[in-house]
Amino acid sequence: MAGDTTWTPPTAPPAASDDPQLACPISPVVDLVFSRWTTPILWTLHAYGRQRFVELERRITKITPKVLTQRLRQLERDGLIMRTYHPEVPPRVEYEITELGNSLAPLFAHLAEWSATNLMKVEEARQGYDTEAAAR
């Protein structure tokens, strides 16, 4: 059904396995998309469009140049962003999100909505847990 956001797991649980991908078929996607700096990079490129390295560095605070370079290379390898080199003086390199990367936008939108609705509940649950744990 279009617009249905409910998820139902497979009818039978997966067989016990040492391979996390067999236990949870979305784990490769989680590893790919939700590593520490991948989400901020993709979010920034989606929100602001084509960016130069220094622009990404300014928008994503606390990321080191080395880590940004590594993540950009990995995202390019994964097909989620595209690197364009302009042979000018001085040389210019720009990064932009690909169609494949943009296909993650609905997922990010759902997560942003979930965050707005539920992060306060998570914080309340944590505080309740911590209070109970301290009383033990």
Q: Which residues fall within 8 angstroms of residue 53, CB to CB, at 6 or more apart? A: 65, 68, 69, 72, 93, 95
**Residue-wise pLDDT tens digits, 35-90:** 889 999 999 999 999 999 999 999 999 999 999 999 999 999 999 999 999 999 99
**Residue-wise pLDDT tens digits, 24-46:** 888 888 888 888 899 999 999 99
- Residues 24 and 30: their CA atoms lie apart, in Å, by 10
| Nearest to 44, CA basis, from 92, 80, 91, 86 | 80
